[in-house]
Amino acid sequence: MGLVPTLGALHEGHLSLVRTAKACCDAVAVSIFVNPTQFGPNEDFALYPRTFDADCALLAGEDIDVVFAPAPEEIYRAGAATFVEVEGLSQRLDGASRPGHFRGVATIVAKLFIAAEPDRAFFGQKDAAQIAVLRRMIFDLGLPVELVVCPIVRESDGLAMSSRNRYLSQQERQQALVLRRSLDAVQAAIAAGERNSETLIATARSILASEPEVRIDYVAAADWATLLPVDQALPGTLFAVAAWVGKTRLIDNMIIQ
């Protein structure tokens, strides 16, 4: 049994997870739930695209077994007092900019695991910090679920696919390409022999700064398991960027070879 948890507004990134799940599981369930507890008070919960009919049409082409799209009250009891908190990890990278976000993510994913009892659950490397948090949750709670990481799916021009890309104006859509360009520059520096994290971070920052409308949230070279900064970007290091393009916060990353 494979589970693919999503917030809906499905795109090819989500479908790549579904296809990977189909290829190695007897049965596949996709959950679609805009999880209120992972959005901060000033974030885009109300605005988040809800495209249930289009999502079902996309999934109809994938021969999956279950679509689980609960109402919030089916998931959260009124006045619920129980949450899953992965301490430390949840305060790093995206967790530093989005307080409470990973508590909401860990809680909903734990609840989905309890509901669906999957053998495998499929997540995208796009949300690399989320993977670190969930891996740790699975380990600490001894959950009998294998977490499968799937590669980042990109638009033809390199922008990482995201449900939030639809917030971007035409101009912002162009500006957003700078995230990928910053990673390409870091990749080129590594290929030329640079391994010093500070230097690589400065390289990425200078590329990001070339788009004056883009505001950097973070640029980090981190241990993918702990999300703590590393001095040297060695194979397996997570190199991650987050930036605001207008009112839209975008993320991208690569695992250094």
Q: Provide the annotated active-site residues.
A: 14
7 binds ligand PAJ (CB under 6 A): yes
Count other Cβ atoms within 10 Å, centred on residue 134.
Answer: 26
161 binds ligand PAJ (CB under 6 A): yes
The residue type of 219 is: V
Supply the angle between the helices 177-191 and 197-209 in degrees, to the nearest 10. 150
Work out which of 152, 186, 233, 245 binds ligand PAJ, going by CB under 6 A: 152
- Give least dist CB 69 to ligand PAJ, A: 12
Q: Which one of 10-18, 61-69, 173-181, 248-256 is the stretch in contact with ligand PAJ (CB under 6 A)?
A: 10-18
Count other Cβ atoms within 10 Å, centred on residue 125.
Answer: 19
Q: Using CB positions, name the residue nearest to ligand PAJ.
A: 124
- Give least dist CB 10 to ligand PAJ, A: 8
162 binds ligand PAJ (CB under 6 A): yes
107 binds ligand PAJ (CB under 6 A): no
Task: With H, G, I as helix, E, B as strand and everything else as coil, classify residue 96.
Answer: helix
Work out which of 150, 190, 204, 214 binds ligand PAJ, going by CB under 6 A: 150
Per the CB < 8 A criterion, the answer to whether 36 and 16 are in contact is no
Count other Cβ atoms within 10 Å, centred on residue 248.
Answer: 18
Per the CB < 8 A criterion, the answer to whether 163 and 49 are in contact is yes
Strands 238-245 and 214-222: antiparallel
127 binds ligand PAJ (CB under 6 A): yes
Site for ligand PAJ in 19-58 (CB under 6 A): 35, 38
Residue 20: partners with Cβ closer than 8 Å, 6 or more residues away:
122, 148, 150
- Give least dist CB 156 to ligand PAJ, A: 13
| Interface ranges with ligand PAJ (CB under 6 A) | 5-7, 13-14, 16-17, 35, 38, 105, 108-109, 123-124, 126-127, 130, 150, 152-153, 160-163
